[in-house]
Structure 1
């Protein structure tokens, strides 16, 4: 019996030692630059002044669990790690268009989508780049999530000079260290949530380049052109400490038109409130992908995307957050198939461009193909 207890004790010590070693390795690994930085000093004091920062972290307007009722966190982790699901990424190379962004006339109002949630917007001569990820990955780990074949054809070198780079939140599939660091010389200003400026400053951006906003804040770009930071129901974080940088959606109001970008987040009544607060939405750029009923509190299902677009009273819908990275268990093309079917009976027009295809925002007659239909 004593010998048995000694074996158990020795095994326990070994396991505890291994866990301690892994924690130490993990701690030092997260000190690498791609993990960014936490707000401190004056930035942290500004964070603490926000009414949305409570008990050491930013909070959603409505507190609710990430995992939906009827689902179990451990079970969901197990499913993701052990079980396999069909068609979660394409076998074929995705079709795309390599548009010369630098040659687009400045008086053309356009969007060029780069896959997932990255897109270039030129509106009334202002050049805006949103959530750019050009490194080919959505993870800080070398073996992490990789971009689909054909979906990563754009690089930082392809970008023109950018007036404003917008960040919805600091998760890796939206804030990419390699991309953002390489863009620094091309970007005049960054607009991000409170606290997120710490990442940019660590990566070489000058304080005067960084504009941090709380929900409801406004930035006057020029007369008649404003960018508003609005709320969404999500979270943030890049290391062991979560939600130290605020997550945003954006309402962009220009002399020509109004554009709303949802960022990531589950369905809430914010869409009705946006419609009531701002002028009519001409284009809604909505998260539609990487969802699951187990975590729909933080990522909308396609049915909720269609409903939200209707509640926004938007004239046009451009679905994003799909066709580049596998971050959920659904088939890679399911978001497009579902939103296409759901949109047939709606008042808004659905735009489904290929990666790199120019979307002419003023052209109400532009048509889009179901480019994903014959892709395996």
Structure 2
């Protein structure tokens, strides 16, 4: 083996190792990737009838294993699939929610406001509930990559008024956004989340 070729191989191996270490460190240290449950929260999880052998299980048997062929098929459809229809061909109209409208809570009428994708503001009997407030620019743990929002928000997390409760259905990035939650933490006293999901500080 010639020396320049060997040096190139060593360099590639080093870069792969460095990337793997950086990726593992990022996932371990960054709050948007979550953390292992511990203490009282772990005990509550372990007592759930839907928890066995160190993991939650579906009530209906569901095969979650795509297998090697399934992953290859999924990856190829992402890379070589119909990319034309993955983004809108025109600007999506958005109706901004005015600040004075947000200061008024309907007393008796039920008002449901769609905030985009998974996020809804529900006002009912003088109470405000916020569902899956993904109010960030990307459905991703990283600010510089991942699916980007196609249009502006009708209201930002910072503009949101006080809400009585925030409900989170699950922890996919298109339903749960760390930045949104951190901004909303000052606007509510109650977060309702699935058992396996802990709150970030």
Q: Secondary structure at the match of 2:185?
A: helix
The count of aligned residue pairs is 195
TM-score, scaled relative to structure 1: 0.47
Q: In the TM superposition, what whole-angstrom CA distance separates every residue of 1:246-278 from its partner, at most 9, and x where no partner exists? A: xxxxxxxxxxxxxxxxxxxxxxxxxxxxxxxxx
Match of 1:149 in 2: 151
Question: Which has more helix, going by share of residues?
Answer: 2
* Structure 1 or 2: more strand by fraction: 1
- Per-residue Cα deviation, 1:147-171 (whole angstroms, up to 9, x for no partner): 0024x23112332211111000011
* Aligned residue number for residue 81 of structure 1: 79
Paired with 2:30 and 2:91, the residues of 1 have a C-alpha distance of 33
1:18 maps to what in 2?
15
| Offset, 1:144 | 1.8
Distance in 1 (alpha carbons) for counterparts of 2:112 and 2:119? 10
Distance 2:189 2:155 in 1: 20
Deviation, 1:143, is 2.0
Q: 1:9 to 1:83 in 2, by over 3 A?
A: farther
The higher relative CO (CA closer than 8 Å, separation ≥ 6) is in 1
2:193 aligns to what? 192
RMSD of Structure 2 on Structure 1 (CA): 2.5
1:168 aligns with 2:169: yes
Task: Using the TM superposition, give the Cα deviation of residue 63 of structure 1 relative to its aligned residue in structure 2, in angstroms.
Answer: 2.8
The whole-number CA distance in structure 2 between the counterparts of 1:12 and 1:41 is 46
Contact 1:53–1:59 (Cα < 8 Å) also in 2:
yes
Deviation at 1:14, TM superposition (A): 4.3
1:65 and 1:14 map into 2 onto residues whose CA distance is 40
Which residue of 2 is the match for residue 264 of structure 1?
Answer: none
Deviation, 1:68, is 7.2
- Residue 126 of structure 1 deviates from its aligned partner by 2.2
Q: How far apart are the structure 1 equivalents of 2:61 and 2:154?
A: 39
Residue 181 (structure 1) aligns with: 182
Q: CA deviation at 1:117?
A: 0.7
CA distance in 2, matches of 1:62, 1:103: 43
Unaligned ranges ≥5, structure 2? none
Gaps of 5+ in 1: 204-376
Please name the residue that 1:125 is paired with. Answer: 126
Aligned residues of 1:67 and 1:73 also touching (Cα < 8 A) = no
